[in-house]
Structure 1
Amino acid sequence: MSLKDETQTHQTAGGDVVRKRSKRRRCGAHCKRFWWAYLIAFACVVVLVVCLVIFVGVPNIAQDKLNEAELDIQGVNILNTEPNKFLMEVNSTITTDGSIHADVDAFTGRMYLEDHEPHVAFATLDFPETSADKMQVVNISQEVTVADMDAFVRFNEWFVERETLRLTIEGETKVKPAGLDRKYGVTFKKTLDVKGLNLLKGTEVLVDSAELFLSVDDNNRNFYGEADIPNPSHFTLEVGNVAFHQYIGDEDLGHLFIEDLILYPGSNTVNVSANLNQPRVLALLRTTPDYCKDGIIPFKLLAENVTRDGNDIEYFAKGLAVANQTVDIDIGAIIKNNLGTTIECADEED
């Protein structure tokens, strides 16, 4: 008898013949009897898979795509500065691979220094609703109130002193993929490498514009001129009126002033004035070999205060006072241009 027969015959000890159904027929009969149970089980599996896709898979995919998106800042303007607030304008783009079509809700982004623990936000920025297009332009203009003054002072100190620093923007938002009615919670977090002011290295007082007087005027100034200040960052900063201490070595020899200072990215030509202790400067120029040979003296500038519209702007003042900004000034050439005399080294006159 073939194994493919649907029934098998067996003879008992008493001689009776018993026919048994094959496994295939028994399975078929079982399925016919309990089809409803299998259908329910299949439906449960389908529902489970769909739920996992909707509640786990889609949010994870959305978060991964948001993580892969690139935030690029083309420019930041800090304007209308006041003691605890300012106008912040940000021009930026968000770039994705364009594989997911979705709308991203507006959200509030917290800004903090990535490399300083704990992560305390110094300000918040309101990002508008965007899409997940391959290239999305995001421009923001809003008045920002300083969320934590200590954190904002620290940001300004790092920004003034360092060549680069890492700034993080983080916020909670929701994403709605195209074709779905549900929104999914995601975290927007981007850490940017931001160029700092690098202590304004390369600042130069322009010799041809400099005017040196033997006595002070009604403003208590005896020096006027122009300076070229480089700003290597993408930030435009409406700083205000800045007063600097001027040091030669460790000796304080007067003040330098810049009125209505606005630093734009790139080169900035600004008006400067000063109250110099001229007799002491001349003495150092004559008696210090490193100075008298070429007439160039390295002045160290350290901010004393910053004001705007009569208000103290503490965060800029402390930022500019974090370290000395060294400026080489050709005092010898300025004296010759203004007074018609050349300062010789003291040992050459003896």
Structure 2
Amino acid sequence: MMNKKDYFVVGFNRNISTSSSKGDENLAGSSQWSEIKHDEAIKTEEKATGRAKKARLDLKKHWKRFWCCYLVATVIFLAIFLPVFFLVAIPAIGQRIVDDTDLPIYGAEILDPKPDTISFALHTSLKVPGGLRIHTDPLDLSLFDKDSGPTEPYLSVSLPAYNLKGTTDMIVTQNNTKILNKSKFIDTLISAVYNKRFTLSAKGSTVGHLGKLKAPLTLHKNVELEGLDKLRGFSIESAKLLISKDDDGDNFVGTAILPNHSVFTFALGNVTLNLKSGDLVLGQAMIQNVLLRPGDNKVSLKGLLDIGFVLENIENIMDYQKEALSNGEIELSASGNSTIYNGVHIEYYEKVLNNLTLTTRVSILAVLGDTLQGLLNDSNSSIGDALRNFTGKIGNSSLLK
């Protein structure tokens, strides 16, 4: 009985059996069927080979006939693609390199402050991927407050042309840099002085050259830096009272530590501070020629304490100092009063420092010890003479024993 699937096989119904027995018939039929399938496979392969050869011949004929069309099409494609590549892709790649590059600030200086100008210095660097050499045209870098946007810069700094390879140091110093927006400049100074960290924002446009290729580049960075943190760590290292005023009319001298946790150096000039106990202003002290460098700055201060005012308000002062006195200390505060550079008030510094209060505690014994030592060394003081005589007698009596 014929299998339904075999019905569709070519040559299946041919009479190919010559054996008389049923078993031989099945064997012969199987062998002949295999030969038929092999022949069919060879014919199919030959047909495929023939079609492939014909296709190759047709392709050669087609190319010989239309090669000029393909050439024109290739030229047109390149004429469109190459300008797009050089005008779009290359600038995009260059801009991506700039965007991915950090702008570290190693140091900065604000020197020679004047009412409308400063001398500004900046030390930074740019890094480009290894193997690349990029030449940049001069760049005007605008510093701005990112909260108000780059359209309102407070300073503009000119950077020269650079040949960038790997990490390239960039140091720029610009004298008489005009303060373009004083209120934004003050806001940035306040942010830098009052906070642990602040953001310095910069933007500028230039042209980068990679060999003969060039591309417009925009540098737009927001760099987070350490702030002065309200001069955290301020301390008065030594302090003493003078019984008689010195030639400048001062009766208080000492040394203080002004910490600067930032990478900025500030030339402040002569800074006058209000000396306070709580809300009571007890007198004033001046620090001359302040150059606030990164790190701890040891400065000399001298001033005038209003002894009469202190005595009039001794009860309020003692009440405020109760906790400090219980620890054998006096709490002193200092706030900005004026900032003068070369005889001129620097308004933007005064607006920053006059709202800043620095507080520290000083050992009572240390103040008394420094005061007594000062009296002993004061050859013009009658009290000093009496103390020297007194200590001399004590010394002699101890020696006699």
Q: Per-residue deviation at 1:172?
A: 0.3
Give the alignment partner of residue 290 of structure 1, picking from 323, 336, 339. 323
For 1:128 and 1:135, locate their aligned partners in 2 and report how far apart those are by CA, in whole Å.
Answer: 16
Match of residue 42 from structure 1: 74
For 1:306 and 1:157, locate their aligned partners in 2 and report how far apart those are by CA, in whole Å.
Answer: 15
Match of residue 298 from structure 2: 269
Residues 112 and 156 (structure 1), Cα distance of their counterparts in 2 relative to 1, 3 Å cut: same
Question: Which has the higher mean CA deviation after the structures are superposed, 88-97 or 62-71?
Answer: 88-97
Percent pairwise identity: 24
List aligned pairs for 1:224-303, cutoff 5 A. Answer: 224-278=253-307, 281=310, 283=314, 286-287=318-319, 288-303=321-336
Q: Per-residue deviation at 1:93?
A: 2.4
For 1:118 and 1:70, locate their aligned partners in 2 and report how far apart those are by CA, in whole Å.
Answer: 20
Match of residue 16 from structure 1: none
Residue correspondences, number: 321
Match of residue 171 from structure 1: 204
For 1:98 and 1:129, locate their aligned partners in 2 and report how far apart those are by CA, in whole Å.
Answer: 20
1:121 aligns with 2:153: yes
List aligned pairs for 1:75-224, cutoff 5 A. Answer: 75-114=107-146, 116-119=147-150, 120-143=152-175, 144-178=177-211, 181-207=212-238, 210-214=239-243, 216-224=245-253
Could you tell me whether the CA contact under 8 Å between 1:285 and 1:295 is conserved in 2? no
For 1:258 and 1:140, locate their aligned partners in 2 and report how far apart those are by CA, in whole Å.
Answer: 30
- More strand, by proportion: 1
TM-score, scaled to structure 2: 0.73
Opposite residue 199 of structure 1, the aligned amino acid is: K
Select the structure with the greater relative contact order (CA < 8 A; seq sep ≥ 6): 1
Unpaired runs of 5+ in structure 1? 7-21, 341-350
Opposite residue 237 of structure 1, the aligned amino acid is: F
TM-score, scaled to structure 1: 0.82
Residues 96 and 30 (structure 1), Cα distance of their counterparts in 2 relative to 1, 3 Å cut: closer
Opposite residue 297 of structure 1, the aligned amino acid is: I
Q: Per-residue deviation at 1:339?
A: 4.8
Opposite residue 113 of structure 2, the aligned amino acid is: T
- More helix, by proportion: 2
Match of residue 36 from structure 2: none
Give the alignment partner of residue 306 of structure 1, picking from 339, 345, 360. 339
Partner SS, residue 132 of structure 2: coil
Residues 73 and 23 (structure 1), Cα distance of their counterparts in 2 relative to 1, 3 Å cut: closer
Could you tell me whether the CA contact under 8 Å between 1:158 and 1:319 is conserved in 2? no
Could you tell me whether the CA contact under 8 Å between 2:192 and 2:227 is conserved in 1? yes
Question: Which has the higher mean CA deviation after the structures are superposed, 273-282 or 99-108?
Answer: 273-282
Partner SS, residue 318 of structure 1: helix
Question: Which has the higher mean CA deviation after the structures are superposed, 26-35 or 72-81?
Answer: 26-35
Give the alignment partner of residue 327 of structure 1, picking from 343, 360, 370. 360
Residues 333 and 25 (structure 1), Cα distance of their counterparts in 2 relative to 1, 3 Å cut: closer
1:53 aligns with 2:82: no
Could you tell me whether the CA contact under 8 Å between 1:69 and 1:97 is conserved in 2? no
Question: Which has the higher mean CA deviation after the structures are superposed, 148-157 or 93-102?
Answer: 93-102
Q: Per-residue deviation at 1:297?
A: 3.2
Could you tell me whether the CA contact under 8 Å between 2:324 and 2:361 is conserved in 1? no
Q: Per-residue deviation at 1:195?
A: 1.5
Partner SS, residue 78 of structure 2: helix
Q: What CA RMSD, in Å, does the superposition of the two structures yield over aligned residues? A: 2.6
Could you tell me whether the CA contact under 8 Å between 2:277 and 2:317 is conserved in 1? no
For 1:230 and 1:155, locate their aligned partners in 2 and report how far apart those are by CA, in whole Å.
Answer: 19
For 2:185 and 2:192, locate their aligned partners in 1 and report how far apart those are by CA, in whole Å.
Answer: 10
Measured against aligned partners, the alpha-carbon deviations of 1:220-240 in whole angstroms (never above 9, x if no partner) come to 422011111111111111111
For 2:120 and 2:207, locate their aligned partners in 1 and report how far apart those are by CA, in whole Å.
Answer: 24
